Structure formats: structure tokens, C-alpha cells
Amino acid sequence: MYKFVTLYRRVDDEDALEAFFSQTHLPLAEQLPGLARREVSRISHKPGGGESRFHLMFELYFDSRISFEAAMVTPIGVQLIAALTPWAEAKIITWFFADSFLEGMAEGS
């Protein structure tokens, strides 16, 4: 699998961040052709119990890098990247792409 990950940092105006995520990012992402699954993680804290600098992680999974790249050149993909770019430039989000795979656990783990 291939995934597109977006990490949202904590900000003073979390309502604006949540509004962008729920009203723009999520609806556009759900329309991407070839999207195999999506996963949202709301980050509660960092190891040791302190507040994390991250607020939310959004992962979009595709069957392959080819299907991901095909989705990104569609009108919806272009619109999604255009919507995310100002947030990335303001360093409110961090985004990356990754090969994703399941790794078996050793017996007894």
C-alpha cells in the first residue's frame, strides 16, 4: 500500500483547524479516486504524559503509488493539494508520502 499522511500541529485556534479539516480536507479526500481507506488519529499526548505538539494525523491509503499519483492529478486531487498548501507553508501541517506494509509479529509477542 501507499499512503499520504498529514500531521496537524496544535494551534491556538483549534476550532479553525477542526473546521478546515472537517469541512475541506476530509470531504475532498473522500472523493479521491482509488482511495482504499482513510484513518484519523486524534493525538492525546506524547510519551511521559505531556501535551503533544501535534493535534491530528490523517492517513489516506492507496493500493499503490501509481494509484495515488493518478488520484493527485485529478481535479479533486489538485484541489486538495491547493487547499493544503497554505497550511503547509504556514507550518501548521506536515505532510509526507510513504510505502506502507504490515509486518508480522514474532511468535509469542
Domain harbouring 38, CATH code = 3.30.70.100
Strand partners, 38: 60
Closest CA to 28 of 95, 88, 74, 93: 74
Write down the pTM of the prediction.
Answer: 0.89
105 domain residue, yes or no: no
Give the residue numbers spanning the domain of 83.
2-99
- Count of positions (residues) in the chain: 109
How far are the Cα atoms of 42, 80, 108 from residue 86, in angstroms, in the given order? 22, 11, 47
Residuewise pLDDT in 10s, the chain (109 residues): 999 999 999 999 999 999 999 999 999 999 999 999 999 999 988 888 888 999 999 999 999 999 999 999 999 999 999 999 999 999 999 999 999 888 877 776 5
Domain count, the chain: 1
